[in-house]
A and B are shown apart, each in its own frame.
Chain A
Amino acid sequence: MAGIGFELRKLLKRDSFLAVLHTYAYAGIISSGPWVLSIVAVLIIGVISIPVVIPHFLVAQFQTSITYLIALSLVFTGFVQLAFTRYSADRIFDKEHFRLLPNLNGLLLLTSVTGGTLAFPLTLILFPATSLVFRMLFATTFVVLCCVWIAAILLSGLKAYKAILINFAVGYGTALLLAIVLRIWKLEGLMLAFLLGQFILLQGMLLVLYRNYPTRSFVEFDFLSRKRVYVSLVFTGFFYNLGIWADKFVFWFHPYTGTNVIGPLNASEIYDLPVFLAYLSILPGMAVFLVRMETDFVEYYDRFYEAVREGGSLTYIYEMKDEMIRMAREGIYDIIKIQAIAAIAVFLVGAKLLDMAGIPQVYLPLLYIDVAAAGFQVVFLGVLNIYFYLDRRGRALFLTSLFATLNLVLSVVSISLGPYFYGYGFALSLCIVIMCGMFLLDRDLQKLEYETFMLQ
């Protein structure tokens, strides 16, 4: 599996406008494909079910259940996402590929057992009005989703974005096809279709891993050993995912904006749809992020540390650092630029699009601010990513925990300020953490070579 940076650079080397376009399109598809697929698939399943699944609120119940399952499984696995990303990156760096699969199995086992132990009793207790089958499906899907995220993490660590994308396409495609057949069993049928799709997705990713990284031992817990676990990353991953979902939870459960859908699960009619639509607009930003980070920034990052390690002159070290900073800055600016264009496009045609989709125009202001906020989220991701490359884990923890806190607090404040301010909590919290992040990054990069040499 060739690294993605390598593949993108090969595309860029052809050096024509078309090649550049091709590169960004490719990067956009592999970086955003999986979650675009999931959002679209869940929407389509909803649409095709409406004629068959009666009463209609069952479709809303399905969509809400899936949204919660995704949110909760992401927040739950947030504790291990970054720590395991780092663990697998370190093993790959140490050329210990044989450790990857057994430790993935160890982590999957650990996650399944703890996730299952939490999910099954809680689902049984919290969904008293639903059928036992639904409850079983709900809890099982939670566990399978957790496993999907973890397997996807290892594959992206191995830069096998294409394999991830293909498996997501196959998994969600299967779910869609099964939904057509199983929709006659209403809510339970749709849930089963989704679960089977996820199961195929998980098996597909595992198959790729088993094929490419054969190993002798089946299960290891090396990733838990004291020397190899970074506690700060455990919490950074958790706060990041919590931060991303914090405003949604607030809107779901605030009495002004949330309504009960199924069991204890609330949805927010006014908030949900614009937010998820807005996320579709970050596709170009994600493409730029991937190209800029994996090619330009990483190239100078590698040169800088190579110069430090392998005896470059101080002038060369300074030059490479300056180039690295320039690439970081340009990368972030490019994300901002492309997202600004995306936002303008939404501003121009948003009203028409909502019309065509049959969505009331009241959503429009919220859609606008959510498009801006989703763009900010990509910028934030860019800043965090630079910190991960520089291995400044303390900064990443600070920024993500600040983000989670701000998003929680400001979303509550935005609700009390009235419907016109909905979405501003999310946008403002990202705005603040980005500014903090850039300010700190500026200072940290100034001192980079001093800290690289003298603090050892």
Chain B
Amino acid sequence: MSHNFPKSDQVDIMLLLEGTFPYVSGGVSSWVNQIIRGFPDYRFGAIFLGSHRDDYSGMKYELPANLVHLEAVYLHDPHEKPEIEAHDGNSSAFEVIGRLHDWFMAPDPDRLENAFKDINFYLDPASGVDYRQFLHSRRSWNHITRMYQERCSDPSFVDYFWTARNMHAPIWILAGIAGRLIPARVYHTVSTGYAGFLGALLHYHTGRPLILSEHGIYTKERRIDIFNSDWIQDNRNALQKDPTEISYFRDLWIRFFETLGRFCYGSSGTIVSLFEGARLRQIADGAPAEHTGVIPNGIDVDRYAPLRQTRPEIIPQVLTLLGRVVPIKDIKNFIRAIRIIANHLPQVEGWIIGPDDEDPKYADECRALAESLAVADRIKFLGFRDPLEIFPQTGVLVLSSISEGLPLVLLEAFAAGIPAVATDVGACRQLILGHGSEDEALGAAGGVVGINNPQALAEEALRLLIDPVLWKQAQQAAVSRVERFYTQQKMFDSYHDLYRKGML
């Protein structure tokens, strides 16, 4: 698979992509695709970081011509491991690691050891802790047992051991990549996490600037993943378990990603978020306020504008949810809302447009739910479809997610002249109701409801479906808002600025 990747020996912008473009479709991936195509004069490179090769079924995007270099790295696949041999390990470097873990308990941004910024700390056994020492040395063992004894509240040592090992192992893989990657003038990561950590290492190693664009908030999304995962062990027995306390290993993962996030924030020259709420959250998570800024997503409005003319006169009694069938999109919330709407509007249909192969178990649960609520004939799982074909048949766009960044699909629907009802997550409120007096004056482009509240979601959607006047007003607001604030050109100009400054 990798042999036909484009390869180059130098690029202008190196994108660091964790679990997105080109192997996973979704909002962030589409945005990456858009950015690369939006700057045909720049030579892009990309590193795709995935978990296991088998988790990804082929590329979901045609590679743009100016993507001249692509590598895929699977962090949890079996990889070449150092020789297994008992040895002591570097004592001074393990002291540094010990201090780092003490520092995690009471992080003070000014006192992070500089040692961790140097990739040689991870690669050179003489001055740091290389992969072999991490895996097999006595000092590594002593460190792990010390951490377990001082901190772990879960009794199972074997689970602690493997959690710690699996969690940290990618660090050495990433340091290896940072050491051998082709040169670039700017590094651009689209998340914190492992990709952000790689970006930080690259920045410190090469001195070239790092731009961080966060669509969602990585640590927050990870937190949701971690809460929903059953692969994280919890071995506390009934007496040890405090229901208000999450499993130690979940907590460990969360703190690990928070730490990677802080490391990335500390090294990024520019920290871009999509909306004001996200920027504040980044600052709360440790981003230096002076490096943060907002660049909202923009879309190619011209592409969707003609759809406004092809719409039928009457409002189609169809609610469309565009998104992957995964728990974070809370498809079940949507299905329950359809049930409630169908009580008043029996002919209503709910369309779910998006791949359902990412979490087949969840998709099955959703189908079963539609079945048990007797709306299986009202709900259509249509799979991946071209929005251009779907929009004219859509009455109201629905977004029932429990977490979002700035969803492009809302902007696209707006451009196509469709109002929306969305949960109050990410930038949804800002997009539907406006942000700032000039924006708010444009009016509401639909409704905003609380998360996991199918009743409210149903009520808002129903209001729009049955009231053509209200619907028309919302359409007006939607179109004006997207044309005024969220055009692709506006976004490209902002990034052009960043890239140009970065390349100096």
| Count of chain B residues near A, Cβ 8 A | 20
Task: Tell me whether A270 is interfacial, beta carbon within 8 Å.
Answer: no
Q: Is B30 an interface residue (CB 8 A)?
A: no
B84/A456 in contact, CB under 8 A: yes
Assembled-state Cα–Cα distance A455/B135 (Å): 8
Quick one: which of B216-235 are within 8 Å of A by CB?
233, 235
B141, A313: Cβ atoms closer than 8 Å: no
Residue of A nearest to B145 (CB): A314
Contacts of B127 in A (CB 8 A): none
- Is A450 a contact of B141 with CB atoms below 8 Å? yes
Does chain A have a CB within 8 A of B161?
yes
Task: Please report which residues of chain A, range 294-315, place their CB below 8 angstroms from some CB of chain B when the two chains form the complex.
Answer: 308-315
Q: Is A451 a contact of B157 with CB atoms below 8 Å?
A: no
Task: Give residues 28-63 of A contacting B (CB, 8 Å).
Answer: none
Contact residues in A for B158 (Cβ distance below 8 Å): 308-312
Which B82-115 residues sit within 8 Å CB-CB of chain A? 84-86
**Once the chains are docked, how many angstroms separate the CA of A316 from the CA of B235?**
15
Inter-chain contact B141/A311, CB cutoff 8 Å: no
Alpha-carbon separation in the docked complex, A312 to B152 (Å): 13
In the bound assembly, the distance between CA atoms of A315 and B157 in angstroms comes to 9
List the A residue with the shortest CB-CB distance to B148: A314
User: Which of chain A's residues have a CB closer than 8 A to the CB of B140?
Assistant: 454
- Fill in one digit per residue for B141-176: 1 if any A CB lies within 8 Å of its CB, else 0: 100010011000001111101000000000000000
| B157 and A317 within 8 A (CB) | yes
Q: Is A311 touching B155 in the complex (CB atoms < 8 A)? A: yes
Flag if A451 contacts B86 (CB, 8 Å): yes
Pairwise interchain contact B86-A312, C-beta atoms closer than 8 A: no
CB distance from A340 to the nearest CB of B (A): 37
Q: What is the distance, in angstroms, from B194's C-beta to the closest C-beta of chain A?
A: 24
B85: nearest chain-A partner, CB-CB: A455
B85: which A residues are within 8 A, CB to CB?
Answer: 455
B60 near A: Cβ within 8 Å?
Answer: no
- Distance (Å) between the CB of B390 and the closest chain A CB? 49
Contact of B156 among A313, A451, A454 (CB under 8 A): A313
Say whether, besides A451-B86, A453-B161, A456-B84, A314 and B141 are in contact (CB < 8 Å). Answer: no
On whether A454 and B135 interact (CB within 8 A), knowing A314-B148, A314-B149, the answer reads yes
Any B CB within 8 A of the CB of A447: yes
Across the interface, do A454 and B136 meet the contact criterion of CB distance under 8 Å? yes
Cross-chain contact B155 with A313 (CB below 8 angstroms): yes
CB of B141 within 8 A of CB of A453, answer: yes
Within A89-139, the residues touching B (CB, 8 Å) are none
B200-241, CB under 8 A of A: which get 1 and which 0? 000000000000000000000000000000000101000000
* Shortest CB distance A311–B (Å): 3
Closest B residue to A312 by CB, please name it. B157
**Across-interface contacts of B136 in A (CB, < 8 A):** 454-455
Task: Specify which chain B residues have a CB less than 8 angstroms from the CB of A455 in the assembled complex.
Answer: 84-86, 136
B84, A311: Cβ atoms under 8 Å? no
Pairwise interchain contact B157-A450, C-beta atoms closer than 8 A: no
Selected from B135, B148, B156, the residue in CB contact (under 8 A) with A312 is B156
A412 to chain B, nearest CB (A): 38
Closest Cβ of chain B to A26, distance in Å, is: 37
Contacting residues, chain A, for B148 (C-beta < 8 A): 314
Q: Is the CB of B235 within 8 A of A311?
A: yes
Q: Do the beta carbons of B157 and A314 come within 8 Å of each other? A: yes
Could you say which residues of chain A place their CB within 8 Å of the CB of B86? 447, 450-451, 454-455
Tell me how many residue pairs across A and B have CB atoms closer than 8 Å: 44
Residues of B within 8 A of A450 (CB): 86, 138, 141
Of all chain B residues, which has the CB nearest A309?
A: B158
Interface status of B191 (Cβ within 8 A of chain A): no
Q: Which chain A residue shows the least CB distance to B138?
A: A450
Closest residue of A by beta carbon distance from B235: A311
Shortest Cβ distance from A230 into chain B, in angstroms? 18
Contacts of B135 in A (CB 8 A): 454
Question: CA A67 – CA B156 in complex, angstroms?
Answer: 55
CB closest residue in chain A, given B233: A311
Within 8 A of B (CB), among A361-418: none
A329 to chain B, nearest CB (A): 24
Q: How far is the CB of A313 from chain B (nearest CB, A)?
A: 4
Using Cβ atoms and an 8 Å threshold, which residues of chain A touch B161?
Answer: 453
Interface 0/1 of A434-456, CB less than 8 Å to B = 00000000000001001101111
Of chain B, the residue at the smallest CB distance from A314 is B157
Q: Is the beta-carbon distance between B155 and A312 smaller than 8 angstroms?
A: yes
* Residue from the list B138, B145, B149, B159 in contact with A311, Cβ < 8 A: B159
Q: Are the C-beta atoms of B137 and A311 separated by less than 8 Å?
A: no
Beta-carbon nearest neighbor of A447 in chain B:
B86
Instruction: Decide: B157 and A313 in contact? CB cutoff 8 A.
Output: yes
B141: contacting residue among A308, A316, A454, CB under 8 A: A454
Q: Which residues of B contact A308 (CB under 8 A)?
A: 157-158
How far is B156's CA from A316's CA once the two chains are assembled, in angstroms? Answer: 10
CA distance A315 to B160 in the complex (A): 13
Mark contacts of A233-250 with chain B using CB atoms, 8 A cut-off: 1 yes-contact digit, 0 otherwise: 000000000000000000
Give the nearest-CB partner of A456 in chain B.
B84
Complex interface: chain A residues within 8 A of B159 (CB): 311
With a CB–CB cut-off of 8 A, which chain B residues contact A316?
A: 155
Complex interface: chain B residues within 8 A of A311 (CB): 155-159, 233, 235
In the bound complex, how far is the Cα of B160 from the Cα of A311, in angstroms?
Answer: 9
Chain B positions within 8 Å of A315 at CB level: 149
**Nearest Cβ in chain B — how far from A250, in angstroms?**
38
Alpha-carbon separation in the docked complex, A456 to B86 (Å): 10
How far is the CB of A392 from the nearest CB of chain B, in Å? Answer: 13
In the complex, which residue of chain B has the Cβ closest to the Cβ of A455? B84
Minimum distance in angstroms from B283 CB to a CB of chain A: 39
A317 CA to B86 CA in the complex, in Å? 20
Q: Which of B148, B149, B156, B233 has the most CB of A within 10 A?
A: B156
Point out the residues of chain B lying under 8 angstroms from A317, CB to CB: 157
Which chain B residues lie closer than 8 Å to A314 at the CB level?
Answer: 145, 148-149, 157
CA of A324 to CA of B166, assembled, Å: 30
**Distance to closest chain B CB from A136 (angstroms):** 53
- In the assembled complex, the Cα of A451 lies from the Cα of B141 at a distance in Å of 9
Contact with B along A302-342 (1 / 0, CB 8 A): 00000011111111110000000000000000000000000
Query: Chain B residues near A456 (CB, 8 Å)?
Result: 84
Nearest CB to that of A313 among chain B residues? B155
How many whole Å from A382's CB to the nearest CB in chain B? 26
How close is A315's CB to chain B, nearest CB, in angstroms? 8
Residues in chain B near residue A309, CB distance under 8 A: 158
Q: How far is the CA of A314 from the CA of B149 in the complex (A)?
A: 8
B498 CB to nearest chain A CB (Å): 45
Name A454's contact: one of B137, B149, B233 (CB within 8 Å). B137
Within the complex, the shortest CB–CB distance from A27 to chain B, in Å, comes to 34
Instruction: Determine the chain B residues whose CB is within 8 A of the CB of A313 once the complex forms.
Output: 155-157
Contacts of B137 in A (CB 8 A): 454
CB nearest neighbor in A for B149? A314
For B155, what are the chain A residues with a Cβ–Cβ distance below 8 Å?
311-313, 316
**Cβ–Cβ < 8 Å partners of A453 in chain B:** 141, 161
What CA separation (Å) do A312 and B141 show in the bound complex?
17
Of chain A, the residue at the smallest CB distance from B135 is A454
**A451 to B149 Cα, complex, angstroms:** 19
Q: 18 other contacts beyond A311-B159, A312-B156, with CB at 8 A cut-off?
A: A310-B158, A311-B155, A311-B157, A311-B158, A311-B233, A312-B155, A312-B157, A313-B156, A314-B148, A314-B149, A314-B157, A316-B155, A447-B86, A453-B141, A454-B136, A455-B84, A455-B85, A456-B84
Q: Which 9 A-B pairs have the closest CB atoms?
A: A311-B156, A314-B157, A313-B155, A450-B141, A454-B141, A311-B235, A454-B136, A311-B158, A455-B84
Listed in ascending order, the chain A residues whose CB lies under 8 Å from chain B are 308-317, 447, 450-451, 453-456
A–B Cβ pairs within 8 angstroms, 10 of them: A308-B158, A311-B158, A313-B155, A313-B156, A313-B157, A314-B148, A314-B157, A316-B155, A454-B135, A455-B86
